[in-house]
Structure 1
Amino acid sequence: MNLVPLDLDRDLELLHGWVTHPRSHYWGLQGAGPERVRDEYRKIAENPHHHAWLGLDDDGTPLFLAETYDPAHSELAPHYAVRPGDLGMHVLVAPPTRHRAGVTSAVMRAVLDFCFAQPGIDRVVVEPDVRNDAIQRKNAEAGFVVEKDVPLHDKTGRLSFCTRTAYAMSAPHLQPAAMEFANRRLIAKAIAEFSHERLITPTHEEGDSYRFGDLTFTAQRFALEHWVVDADSLEGGPLDALDFVTGLRETLGIPEKLLGTYLEEISATLAGSAWKFTHRRETADDLVHADFQTIEAAMTEGHPGFVANNGRIGFGLQDHEAYAPEAGQPVRLRWVAVRKDASLFVTTGDEREHYLAEFGADTLDRYERTLKARGLDPDDYRYLPVHPWQWEHKVTVTFAADVARRAIVPLDEGDDRYRAQQSIRTFFNTDRPERHYVKTAIAVQNMGFLRGLSPKYMRATPPINEWVKSLVDSDEELRDCGFSVLRELAAIGYTGDAYHRTGTPSVYTKMLAALWRESPVPQLADGERLATMASLVHRDRDGNALVTALIRASGASPAEWVTAYFRAYLRPIVHCLLKHDLAFMPHGENLILVFENHVPRRVFMKDIGEEVAVMNDQPLPAEVERIRIDVSDEIKELALFTDVFDGFLRHLAGILAVDGVLSESEFWGLAGDCVRGHAKDHPDLAGRLDLFRPAFAHSCLNRLQLRNTLQMVDLTDQASSLIFAGELANPIAVSG
């Protein structure tokens, strides 16, 4: 949100409608005509101690009116001891034209942010009408403390103060209503996913009614033992997700020494959900027309399968508000120079040209002059981007000796602004969207891993990406489907520290590294727009699904829409598996959809270096050999059954069925048609794998995290880390 000076010539009609609306009766202008309103605000414009501001929503739509004033020059002055640094404030939110949850709280924060951004302001003063209970609740939420009631010319005002520190500590999302919302949804998800993984078994009572322990709820069950639990139906006891998990610790098999860590991830997931409930206001209909990064920031769920999916252990409140993707804040990365003889850099092109393309000749020249000013030779150094959190909490402490001896040289923050993506350590360049994503190491524990990057492991990342890109681009079927990959083109890592010199891999050898990945923006045609595939399983805080809104807006029938989606996503995955024995990790956050007229037409696959596997003995370049794995045909098939069907499509099928858009039988019938259509077009691949087998091994994600929330799997041998719980019926085996 943004505040601009009120312009009476431009804004009078709008202003008159707001201040005379019945909802604005405490504003004191009921029944006033336009000229009276003009006179009132002309007085403010002529008063050097009083200012009026028009508040704009993020899209530029007028949303609220704010006034700021100097209390020493107001009728408040006789009623309290005015301090230097006091600023008076009034706020009026526009009458709603549609339901948008959380608007008033967001406006209050925008106005207070604006007030405290003024030089010298330490305390904000308000005096709402004593009868206005609603605004007093919002004031208290923001950190205001009531001092006393005071008689003013048109009301009795409730004099209240909010200091800068009280506002910073207010944590408005940590309120009962937001936390109840978060607890309900997390317990509902836990019941659904732990039931899906056969860790717990709710008792069926009648109809859609179930019981688990003291809790009763309604739920719908679908193929792949997928549960959709109605969070609002939960009854039967205090709804506390932490107590719920603690009570199941033996059933879930959480090691005693890791219980606290898992509970902290649950608590952080609750806090994140409460924050999104409080601050994210986009409806599903809004997101249908939103840009790529607005959609990325609006996602409320995280990974659809994991219960503790938003841990971010290490982030404080201010870190969350600065760096979490849902905060949507601009981030400037910190840049350091690292000695070439104490680091590695791998790219498919020229290193210096890479820097010139990423931050330009002027910035590169400035960094080189910085090194020279310190008596250092720029030819001895290369340039590494660092997450601001990582610089503050790790580099200056964990690598203090390396900074002191100038093996690591602090430079400056970069010129470009970035936005954090769903993976929290990957950044999209919002100032120059054609430039690469930057993926940084960050020592934050999130969803089963400390989010570091290994320089040694990344040495092969650019060559792997080039090999995969070449294979994909040369395949006619994949070209016809529009399937492509976003290459990780360059990687850098610092290796000159004591942790590397021990020769023992650890979290400390993954703390100072980064890579660059292609942006999809330059590859778009006119009329195309982008969205993370995770958005297809997104519901807004009112429970409305984005995918349902997209299908409605597209004008296509649900079957036509889903068929187009399967051609863009499912068919290429099947082809890569059957033709090349090539498997990706194609979950929602790893795919970027390209829409045309709200219909998905093609996809970009990303995160190639860490999550691609070749499952045959085809010749590979030596530097690519790392991605080869030797597994059975049954494990190969799980690249479709587990990663696509169970990992993503069951969630999408459930949403469409619950919303009455497309039945699950139709959904899985279309999936089966897609796989059969590929087989018909490629008879030479028929029978390579049994994709229509009646059942497949049930590989469980939460069981991995519950077993070891610090490191779910060994990235160098992921197949051996899998945990199975029997079999699941194949939903396409009976389709067609």
Structure 2
Amino acid sequence: MNLVPLDLDRDLDLLHRWVTHPRSHFWGLQSADTQRVRDEYRKIADNPHHHAWLGLDDDGTPLFLAETYEPAHSELAEHYPVRAGDLGMHVLVAPPAGGQRAGTTSAVMRAVLDFCFADPRIDRVVVEPDVRNEAIARKNAEAGFVEEKHVQLRDKVARLSFCTRTAYEMSAPHLRPAAIAYAHRRLIAKAIAEFSHERLISPVPESPGRYRLGELTFTAQRFALEHWVVDADSLEGPLDALEFITGLRETLGIPEKLLGTYLEEISATLAGTAWKVTHRRETVEQLVHAADPVKQFQTIEAAMTEGHPGFVANNGRIGFGLKDHEAYAPEAGQPVRLRWVAVRKDESLFVTAGDEREHYLAEFGPETLSRYERQLRGHGLNPDDYRYLPVHPWQWEHKVTVTFAADVARRAIVPLDEGDDQYRAQQSIRTFFNVDRPERHYVKTAIAVQNMGFLRGLSPKYMQATPPINEWVKALVDGDEELRANGFGVLREIASVGYTGDAYHRTGTPSAYTKMLAALWRESPVPQLAPGERLATMASLLHRDRDGNALVTELIRASDVSADEWVAGYFRAYLRPIVHCLLKHELAFMPHGENLILVLENHVPRRVFMKDIGEEVAVMNDQPLPPEVERIRIDVSTEIKELALFTDVFDGFLRHLAGILAVDGVLPEREFWTLAGDCVRAHAKDHPDLAGRLDLLRPTFKHSCLNRLQLRNTLQMVDLTDQAGSLIFAGELENPIAVFG
């Protein structure tokens, strides 16, 4: 939201409608004509101690009226001892047109207080609402206001209230009963669904569609792949997610010593959900129909509320405080300027296919590069001895200045300045999209935050192979006629950099400390768009807004094709290339929702970009590989090769999508999985030379379980050197493209 000065010539008609609306009766202008409203606000405009502001929603729509004033120059000065740093405030939310979304008033209040406290001179905000206005009193209390007393003003008895800067910062408006109750309900519903899917618990049917689990009863639908869709609103019984998990500790197999850690991740997931439902207000209609394609891409990225569809504790971010969350979490959608440090070349690693200096010139331009070189010279250092490394602001404050203090002091690491470009965090937390220059690369940084079973670090030595791996995969993809025909592309990680001169590296033992100061750059999809194309993370297909409406349902509705045509087109763009890579090249990606970017035309997926190549890709045969790419080769059984489709695609993503489309009445699951099977069979028909390599139509496959991994060890779910060997299985699942074939 944004506040701009009220312009009477531009805004008078709008203002008149707002202040004379029946909902605005406490504003005192119910019967005012246009001229009177103009006269009242002309007085404000002519008063140097009183200002009126028009509040705009993120898309520029007028949403509220705000006034700020100096209490010392108002009638309040007669009723309390005014302090230096006091600022008076009034706010009026626009009367709803077509139904106002829940949370709008809270969001407006926060926007106005952010605006007030943005002035460092302001220590306290003062309000004096009518004592009869109980609704605004509750909103004021939620924001941190404390009522002082009732005072008789010229036109009302007022509730004189104050909000200090600290009280506002500590108000945590998302941590209120209604928001946390919503989060508990949603998290328990997901836990029941996913733990049932992984055969850890077994709800008992009571009546058609109604189940019991302990003291809880609920309504659920069951689909292929033992997929449960639990109606969160139908839950009855004790709704405390922490107690729910604790009560199931032995059943879930959580080691006693790790129970606290897992509960902390559950708590963080609850807090994250409460924050999102309080602060994110976009409808799926707004997300689908936004005017600016690049802004739409990033708004969708920030609007995701669910996190990983399979993991129950999927929003841990242990290490982030509230201010960190509001500054750096993707759902906060805040611009971030990365910190930059110079590191000695002889104590660091840099890998790219091109020239290092040209890379920096392309990333932050000659003026910034020159400024950094002058900073180094100011320390008496030779810029030729250094290279440049972007650092997450959180990492700089919490880790680099402490954990690497000795290295900073001896000028092996030299703090420089923040970059000029603004970035926004993506769903993966540590990856940033350049919003000022979208054609520039993503930047992926190390950050020592525990999230979903891993500390989110980057290893400089491990990443030496990342650019070569990406170049090899890119060449393979570009050289494959089938993949070119489907428009399948990869977003290369084109450069990596990391500091290795610290004591932690000198021990020779890999650890979290050897992954704290590194970064890589990944291509942006924006320059590769054709006119009329738009982008969206594939994870967004599983998104429901807080009214319960699904983004994929809205995309299908907005397109000019039927649901089965839409899904068939999606499978051609996504599923067919994955199948082809697996059969033709025995090449497996990690093709879950967050790792794919959809390219849409007229709201229909036409092609996809795969990302996170360096860490996720695997070659599962003995084809020749360049020495620097050899690390991606794995030796696994045929059955494990097939799981690259069955587990990562069918069970990891498509079962969730099929459930949404079925529940919404858009496409029955039989038709969904029949279309998936048709896609696999059509590829086989077009490529008879690949027949018999893998049996993708086998009746069952091993049931690999993600939550069981996290429950076993929430500090490190898998051994990254032997991911296949870390898998946990729970019997077998029926193959839906065989069942519905």
Q: TM-score, normalised by structure 2?
A: 0.99
Amino acid at match of 2:211: Y
Aligned to 2:46: 46
Aligned to 1:537: 542
Between the aligned partners of 2:648 and 2:723, the Cα distance in structure 1 is: 13
Aligned to 1:10: 10
Between the aligned partners of 1:172 and 1:545, the Cα distance in structure 2 is: 26
The one-character-per-residue Cα deviations of 1:359-418 (angstroms, maximum 9, x if unpaired) are 000101111111111010111100000000000000000000000000000000000000
Aligned to 2:142: 141
Matched, 1:63 2:68: no
Amino acid at match of 1:722: L
TM-superposed deviation, 1:717: 1.2
Amino acid at match of 1:216: T
The one-character-per-residue Cα deviations of 1:588-608 (angstroms, maximum 9, x if unpaired) are 000000010100100000000
Aligned to 1:525: 530
Structure 1 SS opposite 2:126: strand
The one-character-per-residue Cα deviations of 1:190-249 (angstroms, maximum 9, x if unpaired) are 000000000000001111100000000000000000000000111122x11011101111
Between the aligned partners of 2:455 and 2:739, the Cα distance in structure 1 is: 41
Pairing 1:141-220 to 2, within 5 Å after superposition: 141-220=142-221
TM-superposed deviation, 1:650: 0.2
Pairing 1:272-283 to 2, within 5 Å after superposition: 272-283=272-283
Aligned to 1:374: 379
Aligned to 2:702: 697
Amino acid at match of 1:136: A
Aligned to 1:461: 466
The one-character-per-residue Cα deviations of 1:594-631 (angstroms, maximum 9, x if unpaired) are 01010010000000000000000000000000000011
Task: Out of 111-120 and 638-647, give the one that drifted further.
Answer: 111-120
TM-superposed deviation, 1:118: 2.1
Between the aligned partners of 2:206 and 2:382, the Cα distance in structure 1 is: 75
The one of 292, 308, 311 equivalent to 1:303 is 308
Matched, 1:488 2:493: yes
Q: Which runs of 5+ in 2 are unaligned?
A: 291-295
Between the aligned partners of 1:372 and 1:337, the Cα distance in structure 2 is: 12
The one of 418, 428, 432 equivalent to 1:427 is 432
Matched, 1:336 2:341: yes
Amino acid at match of 1:510: K
Aligned to 1:347: 352
Aligned to 1:631: 636
Between the aligned partners of 1:191 and 1:119, the Cα distance in structure 2 is: 48
The one-character-per-residue Cα deviations of 1:319-362 (angstroms, maximum 9, x if unpaired) are 00000000000000000000001000000100000000000001
Aligned to 1:110: 111
The one-character-per-residue Cα deviations of 1:289-331 (angstroms, maximum 9, x if unpaired) are 2310000000000000000000000000000000000000000
The percent identity for this pair of structures is 87
Pairing 1:235-254 to 2, within 5 Å after superposition: 235-237=236-238, 239-254=239-254
Q: Which runs of 5+ in 1 are unaligned?
A: none
Between the aligned partners of 2:539 and 2:335, the Cα distance in structure 1 is: 22
- Coordinate RMSD, CA, aligned: 0.6
Matched, 1:587 2:592: yes
Between the aligned partners of 1:710 and 1:369, the Cα distance in structure 2 is: 43
Task: Out of 100-109 and 567-576, give the one that drifted further.
Answer: 100-109
Pairing 1:73-88 to 2, within 5 Å after superposition: 73-88=73-88
The one of 556, 576, 580 equivalent to 2:581 is 576
TM-superposed deviation, 1:102: 1.3
Q: Extract structure 1 runs of 4+ deviating beyond 3 A.
A: none
TM-superposed deviation, 1:734: 2.5
Structure 1 SS opposite 2:737: coil
Between the aligned partners of 1:134 and 1:531, the Cα distance in structure 2 is: 38
TM-superposed deviation, 1:133: 1.1
Between the aligned partners of 2:26 and 2:86, the Cα distance in structure 1 is: 23
Aligned to 2:32: 32
Between the aligned partners of 2:138 and 2:231, the Cα distance in structure 1 is: 29
The one-character-per-residue Cα deviations of 1:145-193 (angstroms, maximum 9, x if unpaired) are 0001111121111000000000000000000000000000000000000
Amino acid at match of 1:164: R
Between the aligned partners of 1:589 and 1:412, the Cα distance in structure 2 is: 31
TM-superposed deviation, 1:110: 0.6
Amino acid at match of 2:587: L
Amino acid at match of 2:123: D
Amino acid at match of 1:462: P
TM-superposed deviation, 1:563: 0.5
Structure 2 SS opposite 1:459: helix
Amino acid at match of 1:710: L
TM-superposed deviation, 1:491: 0.3
Structure 2 SS opposite 1:221: strand
Pairing 1:542-621 to 2, within 5 Å after superposition: 542-621=547-626
Pairing 1:88-103 to 2, within 5 Å after superposition: 88-98=88-98, 99-103=100-104
Between the aligned partners of 1:553 and 1:149, the Cα distance in structure 2 is: 53
Between the aligned partners of 1:31 and 1:567, the Cα distance in structure 2 is: 61
Structure 1 SS opposite 2:715: coil
TM-superposed deviation, 1:100: 1.9
Between the aligned partners of 1:96 and 1:530, the Cα distance in structure 2 is: 31
TM-superposed deviation, 1:471: 0.2
Pairing 1:468-507 to 2, within 5 Å after superposition: 468-507=473-512
TM-superposed deviation, 1:715: 1.3
How many residues are aligned here? 735
Aligned to 1:661: 666
Amino acid at match of 1:117: A
Amino acid at match of 1:226: H
Between the aligned partners of 2:737 and 2:206, the Cα distance in structure 1 is: 29
TM-superposed deviation, 1:456: 1.0
Amino acid at match of 1:219: A
TM-superposed deviation, 1:42: 0.7
Structure 2 SS opposite 1:460: helix
Between the aligned partners of 2:279 and 2:428, the Cα distance in structure 1 is: 20
Between the aligned partners of 1:134 and 1:651, the Cα distance in structure 2 is: 39
Task: Out of 92-101 and 644-653, give the one that drifted further.
Answer: 92-101
TM-superposed deviation, 1:101: 2.3
Matched, 1:256 2:261: no
TM-superposed deviation, 1:284: 1.1
Amino acid at match of 2:727: L
Amino acid at match of 1:94: A
Structure 1 SS opposite 2:496: strand
